[in-house]
Amino acid sequence: MSLRLEGKIAVVTGGASGIGRAIAQSFAEHGAVVHVLDIDVEAAEAAAREMDGPSGPIAAHGVDVSDSVAVTRAVGDILASGPIDILVNNAGIAHIGNVEATTEEDLDRLYGVNIKGIFNCTRAAIGAMKERGSGVILNMGSIAASAGISDRFAYSATKGAVVAMTYSVAKDYAHYGVRCVSISPARIHTAFVDGFLQEHYPGEEEEMFKKLSATQPIGRMGSPKEVADLAVYLCSDEAAFVTGTDYPIDGGFLRLNS
């Protein structure tokens, strides 16, 4: 495998599982020095022990991205070891429900992680990127940001904000050499999907999995590795002309569904 990220220091939030873990692993395989930030420090440490790359072991940090003090401290510790070249704002949480089924507490909880978390991490890292004149920030959006998806009111609202923040940061920092992009996946087959089906459709998991898979015109869910492959490209020097764009990876969901 080519070392497209060789020598780069990358921070991946929510990197202990799912898409974040796949991104951390792929970054490490491509030569990056990877730091995983996750609220579940035991899961982050376990994931770090199982992942490795040519630049050495992955470092795990127990961090709640909604806590600005904890984020600033963790980012400061990482910067003390070297410049952060890549920040992947992947940490996020979901909620099921329309506006009537969404409480103020639900909205505040999603805001704290999905919006404020990206704000905290970006604000902590971007000053050093600006000073160096280089850096990449990759935000994890969702097709829910631009497509009407039933019973995803709060989640859609926060992911819409993620894409808007991406455009804003890209605009404000392009002339400082800092790029900012986002990826918006459709349904990706992770442990979260399996857990959701077991909780809400006991005994019907296989049938509902097929139904959810069929909502992508390509006929299946995506894999975390496919999202990670796109992330590797967008954060590499090969994508130096890319900024201020949201990239759907959705099996045709946005454009091919009638």
Answer yes or no: 155 catalytic: yes
What DSSP line would sit under 40-86, residue for residue? -HHHHHHHHHH-EETTEEPEEEE--TT-HHHHHHHHHHHHHHS---E
Residue among 155, 167, 173, 176 flagged as catalytic: 155
Burial 133-149 (b: 16+ CB within 10 A, else e): eebbbbbbbbbbbbbeb
Catalytic site positions: 155
